[in-house]
Structure 1
Amino acid sequence: MLQVIENDFLKISSSTHGGELHSIQSKKTNTEYLWNGNPDFWKYHAPILFPIVGKVKDGKYKVDGKTYELPQHGLARVREFSLKNCEDNKLTYELIYSEDTLKVYPYKFSLYISYELIDNNLKVSYKVTNLDDKTIYFSIGAHPGFMCPIKDNESLNDYYFEFNKKETADLMTLDMNVGLISHNTIPYLNNENTIPLHKELFKNDALIFKNLDSNLISIKSKNHNQSLSMDFTGFPYMGLWAMPTGCPFVCIEPWFGHADFVDFDGELKDKAGIQLLEIGKEFNCSYSIIVTE
């Protein structure tokens, strides 16, 4: 079921299925900024990644010596959430553990997602609560796709990513054969803050950064001043992705955690980037999408 909220600047819609955002539309120009979910390219709009980001090795992982299976990006994006609150400017959804989720993720949890309109900003918040009688372990991340180009007379080559600080940063690299992180890194940005967009940019899959100095990234055009930015303050990992075969969107993905390393064979609690949450505690994080016109 879709829910819609709007203010003077933006109109958004989201769904109980996956708690997923479906649309971010400008009230001023009627521009749609979020990817439309065309299954010929990619059927999602902005899935929530929980309790893993990316893949676990062979689709399997271990907790207390027992093996479980999870598909890429976990369970949240294919589960039905409950609508907990619907206000003029804010929507809140909850996914709570069940007998079904315990079969693939053996922890009792509650996951809240909220979408809040604040002028020309959309604030997306996640809250994970430990409802278990033991410490729980998880990763969480966002995977929104944004229309690129946003105008019919433009191409991908007219656009670029821009960070709000100069970066000297390496890329974490993916082994494309298995979709896992290798231990090799590649020098990528050298005191730079822009990445030109073009079809070949993602030929080796996602660009993955760790601990950037920036907390803001924008998608900008060479031809006009309309832009979309994301404030990802606090997220340790940033993935940038589009289909390597070419597509009319790009994804900006802030993460707490990442796919397994190619040689990882330990317990979930030992996984790189994993978050731990003690009994009764909450984990909170948020990012904001800013539309500038």
Structure 2
Amino acid sequence: MHNLQNEFLSIKVNPTGAELSSLKNLETGIEHLWQGNPEFWASQAPNLFPVIGVLKEGKYIFEGKEYEMPKHGFVRHDENIQLKEKTENSLVFELNSSEESLEIYPFKFRFEISFILNKKTVEVKHKLFNLDEKPLYFSLGGHPAFNAPISTNEVYEDYYLEFDQKMDLKTHVLGESGLVSHHTEGILDNEDKIRLHKELFAKDALIFKNIPSKKVALKSKNSGTVLSVGYSDFKNLGIWAKPGAPYVCIEPWLGIADIEGTDQNLKTKEGIEKLDSGNTFEASYFITIE
């Protein structure tokens, strides 16, 4: 594990996939990041690139050729990510395209993910460099899971998510294959709070496209704000947990899983981002412990 701390927080990052594996409040001793109990979900905060969610039949088409791609992309399980730089307040990891990656993703790139501590905030910063001679198509996202409850005298239902504004929100329902269907269900009606309960994710993740809010707080009705996630660089938001598990994932996304009616063409995939040759893309989200 790679470690970093300041006077308020300590973090640990797993070298496989550069996955955040601990986020501890040093003032309270509380571990806020889900610790990956495989009984529910063995991951903790995977980095999603170059796709989000599942592809139809696990495949996509680029310029007439078919490629296979695992759920959420290949970075999350990649052991070739290297620690490029460590400073007093940051860890910077780097992954470069390779002959192996070109077999499933035909673009030359450099992907950097940095974890930057600033008082009680962790910035998770992504940088993508297009080293190819053609435009690069990608999606990008985070998947951090936060413990709820954080004290033994509370239950999951004591917790809720509160957005920075009241909204009308509909979730785009996932079908049995994990693809996004055309069905939606209302979640908020000029409201700003989603209460956590064990049936909330019975139909899988809540998926909010083009969400107006760009900050959400995890709160306890007993002890107030636990933490917040700011995601102004991201268009979409996923909220998820395994039903009955004591955590909640707050997932900033640039992109979305394939829709059921997709033609599997990467260039026209819903939510896909395009980065021209020689250009650089940056996007950050911020986790603040209260």
Q: Pick the TM interval, shorter chain.
A: over 0.9
SS of the residue corresponding to residue 191 of structure 1 reads: strand
1:277 aligns with 2:249: no
Structure 2 distance, partners of 1:79, 1:188, is 35
Partner secondary structure for residue 260 of structure 1: coil
Distance 1:58 1:266, change over 3 A: closer
1:192–1:226 Cα change, 3 Å = closer
Q: In the alignment, residue 286 of structure 2 is paired with which amino acid? A: S
Unaligned runs of 5+ in 2: none
Supply the distance in 2 between the matched residues of 1:27 and 1:75 (Cα, whole angstroms): 33
Structure-2 separation of matches of 1:212 and 1:75: 26
Name the aligned partner's letter for residue 204 of structure 2. Answer: D
Write the distance in 2 (CA, Å) between the matches of 1:127 and 1:193.
Answer: 31
Structure 1 position 215, deviation (Å): 1.2
Scaled by the length of structure 1, what TM-score is found?
A: 0.97
- Whether the 8 Å contact between 2:25 and 2:31 is mirrored in structure 1 is yes
| Cα deviation code 1:192-238 (max 9, x no counterpart) | 00011000000011111122221110110011135110001121100
Whole-Å Cα distance in 2 between the matches of residues 26 and 203 of structure 1?
31
- Displacement after TM superposition at 1:168 (Å): 1.0
Q: How does 1:115-126 map to 2 (within 5 A)?
A: 115-126=115-126
Inter-partner Cα distance in structure 2 for 1:187 and 1:243: 21
Q: Which residue pairs with 1:288 in the alignment?
A: 286
The residue correspondences of 1:38-187 to structure 2 (distance < 5 A) are 38-80=37-79, 81-175=81-175, 177-187=176-186
Using the alignment, how far apart are the partners of 1:190 and 1:78 within structure 2?
Answer: 38
The residue number in structure 1 matching 2:35 is 36
Mark the runs of 5 or more structure 1 residues left unpaired by the alignment.
none
> Once structures 1 and 2 are overlaid, which stretch shifts more, 166-175 or 57-66?
166-175
- Looking at structure 2, the residues matched to 96 and 259 of structure 1 have their Cα atoms a distance apart, in angstroms, of 24
- Work out the percentage of aligned pairs sharing the same amino acid: 46
Residues 56, 264 of structure 2: 8 Å contact kept: no
Contact conserved, 2:218 with 2:225, CA < 8 A, in 1? no
Aligned partners of 2:105, 2:209: CA distance in 1, in Å?
Answer: 26
Aligned partner letter, 2:280: E
C-alpha contact (below 8 Å) 2:12/2:21 kept by paired residues: yes
Divergent runs of 4+, >3 A = none
Q: In the alignment, is the contact (CA less than 8 A) between 2:217 and 2:225 conserved in 1? A: no
Structure 1 residues 229-265: Cα deviation after superposition (integer angstroms, max 9, x where no partner): 0001121100000013x11111000000000001101
Distance 2:119 2:272 in 1: 34
Letter in 1 for 2:52: V
Whichever residue aligns with residue 122 of structure 2, its letter is L
2:234 aligns with 235
Is the contact made by 2:85 and 2:93 (CA closer than 8 Å) also made in structure 1? Answer: yes
Give the Å deviation of 1:16.
1.7
1:124 counterpart SS class: strand
Measure how far apart 1:171 and its partner are.
1.3
1:248 corresponds to:
246
Q: Number of paired residues?
A: 289
What is the CA-CA distance between 1:133 and the residue it aligns to?
1.1
**Structure 1 partner of 2:217:** 218
2:111 is paired with a residue whose SS is strand
Report the TM-score, using the length of structure 2 for normalisation. Answer: 0.98
Look up the SS of the partner of 1:201 in the other structure: coil
Question: How many angstroms apart in 2 are the aligned matches of 1:191 and 1:22?
Answer: 35
Match of 1:192 in 2: 191
Structure 2 residue 51 is the aligned partner of structure 1 residue 23: no
Cα separation, 2, equivalents of 1:166 and 1:174: 24
Give 1:187 deviation, angstroms. 2.4
3-state SS of paired residue (1:183):
strand
User: What is the DSSP-based 3-state SS (H/G/I as helix, E as strand, rest coil) of the residue aligned with 2:134?
Assistant: coil
> Distance in 1 between the 2:123 and 2:279 partners?
22
